[in-house]
Amino acid sequence: MTDQELLSAYVDVWWQAINDFLDLLEELSAEEWATPTDLPGWDVRAVASHIAHLEGILAGGPEETADVGEPPHVSGFMGLYTEIGVVTRRDATPDAIINEIRAAATARHTALLADPPTDAAARPEPIFGGVPWDWGTLLRNRPLDVWMHEQDIRRAVDRPGGMDSAAARHTADYLAESFGFVLAKRAGAEPGTTAVLELEGSDPFAFCVNDIRRGERLASLPTDATVTLRMDREAFIRLAGGRCQPEPGTYAVSGDDELADRIIASMATTP
């Protein structure tokens, strides 16, 4: 697959994720927009405002400024940056936020179709917050961000769904690539340790801790893995996304239970 084909595939998944996100927002009552989510300090309005903020910048809108203060749920530069979009839309109506997302995403989608990026390693312009991402990283991350926030809202307002979409698989597979890092670095597994992640709706992921204590992906499944985790998609994205613990019965462990506990406790790889 060429870079252009890969990047175009990411654009297609992002565009579906945007439309699914907007469809969900259109269903919500005014009261539901004030429902707290799993994300500390953010309700549904804040999540939607965040998406409007980033999509607006990527569509060529000006960088926004606001005094965000020192909210207790915010840490780091990107946390302060993303809070700007929440603050600047506190008085916006739900319809205004929905229309802003739709207009920005449509303009950006049209531009990406008219002049598709062809080099995954090139730097995109514009990009939000000056992050040093290339086209491959940016376009791969956008479906993840939009879909994860769709799920944040779905859990908040008790509207489950969206687990079988292309964006759902894209996100789960993307996050699962960090399983080796979690195994070797966060869980501190010894060299020679092997682990398998059997994720519902995806091909299995297998990793081995190598001699320099890095999680190396295996081309084939080991016959006697040190530990195997079996999870449904929602249980995994809750853990890997750092949202909340999965519901009982949504995952199973075989092999080294103590190692499995360490892996599960350190699974979050994205805020």
**pLDDT single digits (tens) 237-269:** 999 998 877 778 888 999 999 999 999 999 988
pLDDT above 90 for 13: yes
pLDDT of residue 271: 62
Q: Positive or negative, the Cα torsion across 201, 19, 151, 260?
A: positive
Q: Tell me: pLDDT of 192 over 80.
A: yes
Q: Could you tell me the CATH superfamily of domain 3-157?
A: dinb family like domain (1.20.120.450)
Q: Are 193 and 229 in contact (CB under 8 A)?
A: no
73-95, pLDDT tens digit by residue? 888 888 899 999 999 999 999 99
Residue 42, SS3 per DSSP: coil
Q: Is 12 left (phi over 0), alpha (psi -120 to 50) or beta?
A: alpha
Structure tokens at 98: 């929905």
Position 41 scores a pLDDT of 94
| Residue 206, phi then psi, degrees to nearest 5 | -125, 135
pTM: 0.94
Q: Within a 10 A sphere around the Cβ of 173, how many other Cβ atoms? A: 14
Read off φ and ψ for residue 250, nearest 5 degrees: -95, 0
| Order of strands across the sheet that contains 194-199 | 215-217, 205-209, 194-199, 227-231, 251-255
- Sorted by where each begins, the domain ranges of the chain are 3-157, 172-265
CATH topology of domain 172-265: Nonspecific Lipid-transfer Protein; Chain A (3.30.1050)
Helix H or strand E encompassing 117: none
- Return the closest-CA partner of residue 146 out of 80, 29, 47, 60: 47
Overall average pLDDT of the 139-150 stretch: 98
Does position 188 have pLDDT exceeding 80, yes or no? yes
Question: pLDDT by residue (tens digit) across 113-140?
Answer: 999 999 999 999 989 988 999 999 999 9
pLDDT score of 169 more than 80: yes
Share of the chain above pLDDT 70, in %: 100
Torsion of CA 147, 148, 153, 159, to 10 degrees: 70
Res. 270 pLDDT band, cuts 50 70 90: confident
- The phi, psi pair for 126, rounded to 5°, reads -80, 170
Residue 198 has pLDDT above 90, yes or no: yes
Show Cβ contacts of residue 141 under 8 Å, excluding neighbours closer than 6 positions: 133
The residue type found at 266 is S
Length of the chain: 271
What pLDDT is attached to residue 76?
A: 83
Rounded to an integer, what distance in angstroms lies between the CA atom of residue 188 and that of residue 265? 12
Overall average pLDDT of the 187-204 stretch: 96
- Type and span of the H or E element at 78: helix 76-87
Mean pLDDT of the chain: 95
Distance CA 20, CA 171 (A): 14
